Chain A
Amino acid sequence: MATTVDIQELPLAINVDPNRERMLREAEKELPLEYRAGWHDEIAPIFKTGKGLSRFVVEEISRMKGEPAWMTEIRVNAYEHFLTRKLPEWGADLGQVNFDDIYYYLKPMEGQGKTWEDVPEDIKNTFDKLGIPEAERKFLAGVSAQYESEVVYHSIKKELEDQGVIFTDMDSGLREHPDIVKKFFGKVIPYKDNKIAALNTAVWSGGSFVYVPKGVHVAIPLQAYFRINAKNAGQFERTLIIADEGSYVHYIEGCTAPIWSEDSLHCAVVELLAMKDATIRYTTVQNWSNNVYNLVTKRAVAYENATVAWIDGNLGSKVTMKYPAVYLMGKGAKAEIVSAAFANSGQVQDAGGKVWHCAPETTSTITSKSVTKGTGRAEFRGWLKIYKGCVDSVSAMRCDAMLLDKQCYSGTTPVIEVDEEKVALGHEATVSKVGEEELFYLMSRGLTEREAITQIVNGFIEPFTKELPMEYAVELNRLIALQMDAAVG
C-alpha cells in the first residue's frame, strides 16, 4: 500500500546560508529603484526570413547556418510533423496564436562577440540596461546572451575551459562537437513529443550547449539571457546540457522582452542529461512582457544517483505553458521541481511538473506555488508516474495557490499513477487568500496595506525564493513588489 509522507521531511538541495538575509538586503540597496525591461531598441536585423513558415524557410535557416545534412533532415521532418499535429486541447487557449504572422529567424549581427566590445553598441546597451555584464563580473562563471535568434555574446571563465567544460551556443556546439550533438540532440525530447517541440526542432536557433566532463564541479553558475526585441518575433532557442559522471553544474536563464501590441512567440526546448552521480540545477527567472506566448518543453534524464533540479519562476507573459519533467532512469536518482507563478490580470500561467520513476529507490518532489491577482489565471498540472518494480521510491507533490482578488482563478490538476505498491507517496494542495488576521497583524506594526500584502505574498513563495541564488531572489522579490503596484485591469 502506498503510504503518505510529510513533504517537509524531504530535504531540498540548497541550505540557506546564514548570511544570506544580510547579503540580500545589501544587494537590494544596489539595485535601481525600478525594474524596467519593457523598452525596445530600433535595431534592424541584418537578415530575416519573411513572415510565416514554409519548408523553404526551414531549409533556408539550415542553409544560412551551414548545417550538416542530417540536421536539415531533422528540421524538415519536424516541420512536416508540425503541420500534421494539433495544438493541445487541454491547457491554455492557444487559438489566437497566428503561426503565419511570426518572423521565425532574425539575425541581429554578423558573428559573435567574445568580449562586450565586439557586440554592436546598441545591442550591448540593451544588455547593459539589463545588468548582464555587471552580473558576469560579479558572480557568474560564463555568460551567453541571445538577441532575437542568435547568441550575440559568449564567454566562459578560462579555468573552466581548461577543465574541459564546454559552454557555447547551440549552433557553435553543432559545428564544433557534431558527434556529441548528434548523439543526444532530440533524444530526451523527440520532435514528435508535441506540436510546439516540433516547431522548435524545425526552426531552432541559438540556445546553449553545455558539457561538463566527469567529476568536474562548476561551483559558480553559468547564465544565459534571452532577449526578444522585434515585433511579431519568434524565439526558438534550443538548449542541451550534459553533465557527465559525478559532475555538477548550475545553469541559470533569464528572459525579457519589450511591450508590443502584437504578440511574440517564445518556444524553447531544453534537454538535460545527468549521468551517474551528476547534478544539474536549472534555474529560470522569466519576466516576459504581457504580449509573449511562452510555450516551453523542458525535460531531463537522471541516471543512477543523479540529481536534477528544475527551479522555475514564471512572471509576466500572456500565456505560459511549461511543465519541466524528469525521467528517473537509474537507481537512487532524484528529481526536484520547484516552481512559482504569478498571474496578473490578463495572464495565464499554466505550469507544473512531471516525473517518471523508472528505477528503484528514486525520489521526487514537485512543489508549486502560484499567486493570482486581478483576472489572472493559474493552473497547476502535475504528473507523477511510478512504474512497476520501482520499489522504495518516494514522491511528494505539493501545490499551494494564493488568490489575491475575487475575479482571479486557480486550478489544480494532479495526475498520479502508481504501479508499484512498495512506495511512499504524498500529495497536498492548499488554496489561500491573504487573511484579515495576518493583514491586521502586519499593519498594526506600521506596514501599509500594500507592504503587508507584499510581505505575505513573498512569504508564501519563500520556499521557491530560497532555492534561488541571492541576486535572483532579490530580483524576484522586487518583481513581485512591482506586480503589487500594477493596476488591476
Chain B
Amino acid sequence: MAATAATTDTTTTTETTTETSPTLEVRGLRVAIAEREILHGIDLTVDKGEVHAILGPNGSGKSTLAYALMGDPRYDVTDGTVTFKGQNLLEMEPDERSRAGLFLCFQYPTSIPGVRMGNFLRLAVKARFGDAAVKTFRRELQETLRLLKMDRSYMERYLNEGFSGGEKKKAEILQMAMLKPEIAVMDETDSGLDVDAFKVVADGVNAMRGPERGFVVITHYNRMLEYIKPDFVHVLIGGKIVKEGGPELAQFVDQHGYRPILEEVRARGEEVELPEEEGATYGERPELETRVHDPFRSHGRTAI
C-alpha cells in the first residue's frame, strides 16, 4: 500500500533506530476534559512507515486523542500509558514531545499576531534540530514552499493571522515538512478545504510518506483516504475504538456509514456512548466544499 506512494522526501535520517518496540504505543488511554471522560481506554500502536486512519463521527473523541497525545494541558489523562520511542510521553511537556519527533497538525491552528511565519519556522527548526539546521534552513524552506505551491510572501505574514482555511492547513503541512516528525498526527486536516487546497495538502502528505515516518490521520469521512491510502483503519465511536481493519474498512464506512458498525458492536453486547453533540453524522457522506467560479453566473442570474 505504502509502496504506491512515491516518496520524494528529502529527509536525511541521521538517527538510526535501534529500538525494537513500536514508535508510538498507546495503552488503555483515558482522557477527560473538565472532569468529563471523553476517551474510555484507547489502544493504538503506530510504527514508522505506517499510515493509520482514525475514522469516527463528530464528537466521538478523535480530536481529544490528538490533543492528549501532544500534551495539551486542557486535557487530563486519567489512566493508561503512552510510550514514544521508548520514553514515557505522558511525562513530557508539549515542547519536549515536539523535539522528540511528534507533530500535531491542528484542525484549527490559532493565530499569533506580530509573530512572522518565517521567524517562527526558523525558531521551531532550531528547537528541533539545533543551531546547525539553521544554516540549511533557507534552502530547505524554498524547496518545501515550491513543493506545497506556497508563495514566499507567506514568510512575512503573521502566523495564521488572516489566513484562509486552506492557507492555514497548508501552513500546518509546511511546518510538518520542515520539522520532519517521526510520528505526525493530523487532526481533520481535510476539513474546510476547497478542491485545490485539498490536493496540495494531500500531495504534501504523500510526498512525506516513507519508512522514517508514521502518520495518524484523523478524519470523519473517507475522501482524504482516497488520496492518502492508509495501511490500518480504526473506527472510533463514543470514546472507544470499536472496529479495526485495513483500507477496506474505510471503504465500508464510506459506503454504509457508521450505523452497521454500531449495530455490530451492540450485537457483541458492548455499550457505546453516542456523542450528544449536534450535527453528529452517522450515515451521510459530507461533500467537499467546492469553489465554483463562473464569470457568466453570479447572484443567481445567467448571462446570455
Contacts and interface: CB of A to CB of B under 8 A. Distances in A.
Interface of A: 16, 18, 21, 25, 435-438, 440-449, 451-452, 455-456, 458-463
B248 interface: no
B124 A441 contact: no
A73 B98 CA distance: 69
Contacts of B164: none
A440 B112 contact: no
Contact of A443 (B93, B113, B158, B175): B93
B99 A446 contact: yes
A459 B114 contact: yes
Contact of A447 (B97, B123, B156): B123
B13 interface: no
Interface stretch (B70-78, B221-229, B258-266, B284-292): B70-78
B116 A21 contact: yes
Given A441-B112, A459-B115, 5 more contacts: A444-B97, A446-B98, A448-B95, A459-B158, A459-B159
Contact of B115 (A440, A443, A456): A456
Interface of B: 70-74, 93-95, 97-99, 103-104, 106, 109-110, 112-116, 118-120, 122-124, 127-128, 155-156, 158-159, 175, 179
A449 B112 contact: no
Nearest to A369: B114
29 contacts: A16-B156, A21-B156, A25-B122, A436-B73, A437-B110, A438-B110, A440-B70, A440-B72, A440-B74, A441-B109, A441-B112, A442-B120, A443-B94, A443-B95, A444-B95, A444-B97, A445-B95, A445-B124, A445-B179, A446-B95, A446-B124, A446-B179, A452-B95, A458-B114, A459-B113, A459-B115, A460-B113, A460-B114, A461-B114
A16 B155 CA distance: 14
8 tightest CB-CB pairs across the interface, nearest first?
A459-B114, A462-B114, A446-B127, A459-B115, A446-B98, A443-B94, A445-B124, A443-B95
A238 to B, nearest CB: 36
Contacts of A16: 156
A446 B104 CA distance: 11
B170 to A, nearest CB: 16
A470 B73 CA distance: 37
Given A437-B110, A444-B94, A449-B93, A455 B115 contact: yes
A460 B158 CA distance: 11
Nearest to B74: A436
B114 A440 contact: no
